[in-house]
Structure formats: C-alpha cells, structure tokens
Amino acid sequence: MTKCINIDGVNVPFEEGQTIMQAAENAGVYIPHLCHHAGYAPHGSCKLCSVRVNGRVCTACTFPAAEGQSVINNSRELQADRRRLTQMLFVEGNHNCPSCEKSGDCRLQAVAYYLRMEDDHFPLFYPPRPLDSSHPDILIEHNRCIVCSLCVRASRDIDGKNVFAVSGRGAHKHLIVNSPSGRLGDSDISTDDAAAHICPTGAILIKGQAFHRPIGQRLYDLERIDGSPHAGEASHEA
C-alpha cells in the first residue's frame, strides 16, 4: 500500500526517507523555496519553505515525510510570513530587477511575484558590497547574494573544489572565496563547474552572456515559478 501525506487536502505519495519537499516536488506540488535544490543535501537556511505539519511549523526541505502527516502549505498566514522573508532578502541586498541580467530567470524575483510582493515594506539597507570581476570568465555580484549556500554546496559536493564558503553572522553574513587573495580570479573555479551555474539570483554570472536570451523569453517570463501560466492565473491564499 502506498504511503501518503496530506498537503492542503490532497494525498501525496512518498517513499521512505524522502522529505516533505521531495514528496511535494514529485507530485507537482509547489512549496516556495530558495536554498533547496533537488539532488543537494537539505540546508534549511532560507526558511521560505516553512509549512505547518500537524500543527507544528517546520521546513519542508529538511522534515521527513511520514504516514499520517497533515501538511498546510498554502495558508494566508504562511504566505504572509514568506512574503516578509522575501521582502527582508530584498532590502538586505541591493536588488534592482529592471537592470539585472538575471531578470526573468531569477528565483528570488519569481518567488516575489508568486507571493504578490508589491513593495519592499522595510527600509533599504543599501549595504556597500563589492563586485568581483577578477576571474576571466565568471563574476560575483555580491549585491545580489542571498547567502543561500547553494554555490558552497555545489563546489564542495558536486565539483569537489571547495571554492566558496560563508563567513560572519546575522547581517554581516556573506559569501567568501577560498583563495589566497580572497578573489575569484585566484580560485580554481571554471565555467564547467556546477557552482558557476547554481545561483538562484544574479550573484554569480558567466561573463559575456548578458541578456543573451531576450526579456520575454526567459524561464519565468513564460510561466510562474509554480509551473502555472501567467495568463488566467489561478488564485491562491495571500
């Protein structure tokens, strides 16, 4: 007999050892997330995938699926919390979507649209963050980094290079490069590395490809992040 969890009134099958996020993804159920990536070890840092499981709030990307779970994913309260988290990510960095070459392909931007984020709500921090263009093929735009650690995990676990790390705490938490100078140009990263392509925002970019795919033809230009079309959008709690 197939084991199932219930997400927003729908029975979703799962296999032993899967997380709630993995079961949801396999069933085509979208749970907002930023630091999660299929095939990577759970991280639980962004907290955007927080759901209510049998009354308890937990992160869907780290919490194991189990028989008898009743999962609330799409509630007014959870969507409001996710919207606030997304707003804080925007104000803690310097995100100027209209001028960013990742616009339309940016998961942070797409999540903000999905959550109907209409403004930043909080005062902007305007942190003084550098641009590292020392590498001949790849650049780091620290202004757009949301410290999701996907590049850290990709470089360590997939590429076997350990190019990136995260340093600091709280508002001072930031991405660093493990090279003698601390600059990307002195690291052994290459354009073939998973770490060069995994960033969900425009923080790590391949040089010479700016706006290679025209606005209007990009991933989230064609459909919303939950997979639904832009035209005739289905309503959800907000």
CB 199 within 8 A of CB 129: no
Q: Which pLDDT does position 2 carry in this prediction?
A: 86
Cα separation, 72 vs 9, whole angstroms: 8
Pick 211 or 155 by higher pLDDT. 155
Q: What would the mean pLDDT of 140-154 be, rounded to a whole number?
A: 97
Pick 215 or 163 by higher pLDDT. 163
| Cβ within 8 Å of residue 80, ≥6 positions away | 238
What band does 233 get if pLDDT is binned at 50, 70 and 90? very low
* Mean pLDDT over each residue of the chain, to the nearest integer: 93
% helix / strand / coil in the chain, to the nearest 5? 25, 15, 60
Residue-wise pLDDT for 23-35, tens only, equals: 999 999 999 999 9
Q: Which pLDDT does position 41 carry in this prediction?
A: 87
Whether 56 shows a pLDDT value over 70: the answer reads yes
Q: Which pLDDT does position 234 carry in this prediction?
A: 45
Q: Which pLDDT does position 235 carry in this prediction?
A: 41
Q: Which pLDDT does position 231 carry in this prediction?
A: 59
According to CATH, the topology of domain 4-74 is: Ubiquitin-like (UB roll) (3.10.20)
% of the chain at pLDDT higher than 90: 85
Question: Which of 53, 47, 51 lies closest to 34, judged by CA?
Answer: 47
Q: Tokens 């759901």 sit at which residue?
A: 51
Residue-wise pLDDT for 177-224, tens only, equals: 999 999 999 999 999 999 999 999 999 999 998 888 888 889 999 899
Both tokens of 110, joined, read 């797409």
Q: What would the mean pLDDT of 78-103 be, rounded to a whole number?
A: 95
Domain boundaries in the chain? Answer: 4-74, 80-222
Q: Which pLDDT does position 171 carry in this prediction?
A: 79
We find that the CATH architecture of domain 80-222 is: 2-Layer Sandwich (3.30)
Whether 166 shows a pLDDT value over 90: the answer reads yes
Residue-wise pLDDT for 127-139, tens only, equals: 999 999 999 999 9
Whether 86 shows a pLDDT value over 60: the answer reads yes
Both tokens of 30, joined, read 């979208």
Whether 57 shows a pLDDT value over 50: the answer reads yes
Q: Mapping DSSP to helix (H, G, I), strand (E, B) and coil, where does residue 228 land?
A: coil
